Amino acid sequence: MKRDYISDIDRLGKHLADLRATLTGQAGDAAESAATYIAPKARQFARQFQKEGYGLGKAARRNPSATTGAIVGVMVLGAAVAWLLSASGGEKDD
């Protein structure tokens, strides 16, 4: 009983390619749905920030140490989000 290992390997390779294509499509769909959720929230935040900008400027002048803390917090949050996004998109195919 001799088995044809080459055809088995070819079949497994095709299955892996199909699985990779399916997973890539699902990842693209997830990214698209996340973008459609985040974009309106970002526009709403920008409008609100535009409305409250003058009040924020006055508060920043009155409380410089609180302003520094808020800026550092936003920078850390931005770095964390950037790190998460780069870690999820930075995986290389071998």
- For the chain, domain boundaries: 5-63
Rounded Cα gap, residues 43 and 32, in angstroms: 17
User: Could you read off the pLDDT of 56-68 as tens digits, one per residue?
Assistant: 888 888 999 998 9
Q: What is the pLDDT of residues 19-54, one digit of tens each?
A: 888 888 888 777 777 778 888 888 888 888 888 888
Q: What tokens does 9 get?
A: 């390997």
> How far is 69 from 42, CA to CA, in rounded Å?
22
pLDDT score of 92: 53
Q: Which two tokens stand for residue 88?
A: 């999820």
